[in-house]
Amino acid sequence: KAGVTQTPRYLIKTRGQQVTLSCSPISGHRSVSWYQQTPGQGLQFLFEYFSETQRNKGNFPGRFSGRQFSNSRSEMNVSTLELGDSALYLCASSVSGSGANVLTFGAGSRLTVL
Amino acid sequence: DAKTTQPNSMESNEEEPVHLPCNHSTISGTDYIHWYRQLPSQGPEYVIHGLTSNVNNRMASLAIAEDRKSSTLILHRATLRDAAVYYCILRAALYAGGTSYGKLTFGQGTILTVHP
């Protein structure tokens, strides 16, 4: 079956702009979570969605937001981009988000902010 | 958040077994122990997970201490393709609203180097 698909894979933005990243989970998976990965901070949790509801959020400013659609696809948005937002953004899906389920990660969207 | 502690790096020779340790002294009774690995420029890949009993799959084995405060990922015969960053994380079994459910905490992981 198809894996987790993230688009776009690479993008370059300038400071002050906004960006929207998309994540299509594995069919049947209703939980989608997002992570930011940088060389200095490692993998950091952004938020987790289940059935269009955000169940948990990491320690990121309000410029980072997300949503989930009825088909479980998810988007995250970063407004007023800063240089420090340059990172690999990963999403992962699982059946329900329970620890009994396996997380499947996408290949990520690499954002560069100039 | 329940946290895990792993060594920063480990080395192994090809064809030899590798034991990657993980400490999780604050684990709760309903937390699953998961292991993922990440190759350069790729998303993390699932390796194995377990709750209380030792687990085996085609990739690896997971040995869980009786008190569940530590675990060990065992690669029985390391290959060059196993060189990666290995992450041990805890995931809550049930959603109970207002908990850290779904809020994963990744440590720095263990960089595994495999020598030919």
How far A65 CA sits from the closest chain B CA (Å)? Answer: 15
- Where does the pLDDT of residue B101 fall: very low under 50, low under 70, confident under 90, or very high at 90 and above? low
- Tell me which residue in B30, B46, B108 faces A103 most closely, judged by beta carbons: B46
Q: What is the pLDDT of residues B17-28, one digit of tens each?
A: 999 999 999 888
Q: Is B14 exposed, middle or buried (0-12, 13-18, 19+ CB in 10 A)?
A: middle
CB B110 within 8 A of CB B90: no
Residue A73 Cα to chain centre, angstroms = 11
- Where does the pLDDT of residue B107 fall: very low under 50, low under 70, confident under 90, or very high at 90 and above? confident
Locate all alpha helices (DSSP H) within chain B, ordered by sequence: none
Mutation choice for A interface testing from B31, B39, B42, B103 by most A CBs within 10 A? B103
Q: Which residues of A touch B60 (CB under 8 A)?
A: none
Query: CB distance from B96 to chain A under 8 Å?
Result: no
Q: Which residues of A touch B103 (CB under 8 A)?
A: 45, 48, 56-58
Q: Which residues of B touch A99 (CB under 8 A)?
A: 30-32, 34, 49, 51, 90-93
CA-based nearest residue in chain B for residue A100: B93
**CB–CB contact A92 B107 (8 Å):** no
Q: What is the pLDDT along chain A (114 residues), one digit of tens a residue?
A: 679 999 999 999 999 999 999 999 999 999 999 999 998 888 999 999 999 999 888 899 999 999 999 999 999 999 999 999 999 999 999 998 888 889 999 999 999 999
For residue B14, the SS3 value is coil
User: What is the reported pLDDT for B3?
Assistant: 85
Query: CB distance from B103 to chain A under 8 Å?
Result: yes
8-state DSSP, A64 = E
**CB–CB contact A56 B42 (8 Å):** no
User: What is the reported pLDDT for B93?
Assistant: 78
**CB–CB contact A45 B103 (8 Å):** yes
User: What is the reported pLDDT for B95?
Assistant: 64
User: What is the reported pLDDT for B104?
Assistant: 75
Structure tokens at B2: 């329940």
